[in-house]
Structure 1
């Protein structure tokens, strides 16, 4: 009998498969998903072009009381400050009402940005491969299929060096309360693990959104840094508010990763002001 070769998130032709679906949403999370769908319409109305779920809930891996609800709202025009305030209030309301989730957030962008050629291998890829349609027209129909190649690697995470100064500012401005530092640890841990994974993604030839699988793939090619990324993966799921962890990210792992990324894949193409 022929041995089954793992798909590593690719279809039979080698394209990245869309990873989530409504069928995978665990039953316990379906009420919050339904509420989010209705409230997105209430908040944005006719300005809403389409909306999506992403993250652990549509992948079917969410944990009750530990996982957050991740949404994308695509508007017919560029989001305003008022739109961002409304999205923030929506997330806070959902988080307060539904104990099944630990936080809720909504990414905002315009239809034009999703379909812009400059965003084809970043926002466009994200919508087409990592997002599950929730409302409106599925913009993946207007986007290409994607392979785990160097172009995708460069345009998704080839901008880490530009993030690091802002990360240092956020760390300096944060107080030392564990509950204040924990979200920073989770955010930066996840970002670094995903960057480490996409650094090796073309050689590994596949896609995964599981942080520990990402770290394991990275370890195949950079064993000397494997322990750091493995610990970051753990912090991405179970963060502890520790300033020393954050400092290690911006003083050691982050700069090394940014330099190695630029060497291997190059630097992400500049975007218009306000798109960063």
Structure 2
């Protein structure tokens, strides 16, 4: 019997498809494709991808956000990032069906490079759905739910915790706190799932299933991971809940992760 999220050969199956985009989101996806092509053009853009609940077919109108990744022909510049920010804001303003939009920018060499083979490369090959251009997955390997994959995808949680504490302290509005809650909740759930992924032998992006699977191996922490899943799915401005994730579950999860899988290979810090 094939494990959840794997193909018949035991590799992680690509989880999204344009065919799975809910009808309510078809308009914003079509608009995103048109705007990306017009704004970035073939000189800058190699390919574009959807990821998240929309291409998985599980998005909820008015609640889910739109997640996009753009693969550029050269490293992103400040102008590229400004264009992406404006594009995301425009999509959010013009389409009430989404609750926000986010755009990741990377260059092709980075996405296909050896350093990112088991992080961004896996992300593109398994979690991203092609929207525009030539699919980079053709130049990437197939992936199994291994400890190496776990280490390189989420073995950097310890470094994120100080940043999250600073962001929570700096948040002045409920909207800012909810945005942080969604990001923290998603990352904590994903880290909890990948911690146990090699033992479980499967893959899922479903928040509830991730929390349930994690709880099989760490029942004493299962309630906290369910809290993270709730915040990821329905972000709130509850600072006490965020503090539990950042100051209690987070440090424990980072230490356990390092003990089980090791720490993610360091990345260049830039100029």
Deviations 1:239-271 (A, max 9, x none): 210111222222111000000000000000011
- By how many angstroms is 1:6 displaced? 5.7
In the alignment, the residues of structure 2 paired with residue 102 and residue 161 of structure 1 have an alpha-carbon distance, to the nearest angstrom, of 29
In the alignment, the residues of structure 2 paired with residue 190 and residue 57 of structure 1 have an alpha-carbon distance, to the nearest angstrom, of 15
- By how many angstroms is 1:123 displaced? 0.3
Q: Tell me whether 1:198 sits opposite 2:189 in the alignment.
A: no
- 2:11 aligns with 15
Aligned with residue 28 of structure 1, among 16, 21, 24: 24
Moved more, 253-262 or 265-274: 265-274
Q: Tell me whether 1:230 sits opposite 2:226 in the alignment.
A: yes
Deviations 1:91-148 (A, max 9, x none): 1101111111111111000000000001000000000000000111111000000000
Q: Tell me whether 1:115 sits opposite 2:112 in the alignment.
A: yes
- By how many angstroms is 1:178 displaced? 2.1
Q: Tell me whether 1:103 sits opposite 2:76 in the alignment.
A: no
- By how many angstroms is 1:180 displaced? 2.2
- 2:128 aligns with 131
In the alignment, the residues of structure 2 paired with residue 153 and residue 6 of structure 1 have an alpha-carbon distance, to the nearest angstrom, of 20
In the alignment, the residues of structure 2 paired with residue 180 and residue 132 of structure 1 have an alpha-carbon distance, to the nearest angstrom, of 29
- By how many angstroms is 1:35 displaced? 0.7
- By how many angstroms is 1:30 displaced? 1.1
Moved more, 265-274 or 117-126: 265-274
Alpha-carbon RMSD? 1.2
Q: Following superposition, which runs of at least 4 residues in structure 1 exceed 4 angstroms of deviation?
A: none
In the alignment, the residues of structure 2 paired with residue 203 and residue 123 of structure 1 have an alpha-carbon distance, to the nearest angstrom, of 22
Moved more, 241-250 or 158-167: 241-250
In the alignment, the residues of structure 1 paired with residue 163 and residue 252 of structure 2 have an alpha-carbon distance, to the nearest angstrom, of 17
Mapping 1:136-147, distance limit 5 Å: 136-147=133-144
In the alignment, the residues of structure 2 paired with residue 273 and residue 235 of structure 1 have an alpha-carbon distance, to the nearest angstrom, of 30
Gaps of 5+ in 1: none
- By how many angstroms is 1:174 displaced? 1.0
Aligned with residue 266 of structure 2, among 253, 267, 270: 270
User: SS of the residue aligned with 1:18?
Assistant: coil
TM-score normalised per structure 2? 0.97
Q: Tell me whether 1:217 sits opposite 2:213 in the alignment.
A: yes
Deviations 1:213-250 (A, max 9, x none): 10001000000000100111111101210111222222
Q: Is the 8 A contact 2:193 2:211 kept in 1?
A: yes
- By how many angstroms is 1:194 displaced? 0.5
* Aligned length in residues: 270
Q: Tell me whether 1:57 sits opposite 2:22 in the alignment.
A: no
Mapping 1:67-82, distance limit 5 Å: 67-82=64-79
- 1:245 aligns with 241
- 1:189 aligns with 185
Q: Is the 8 A contact 2:11 2:145 kept in 1?
A: yes
- 1:257 aligns with 253
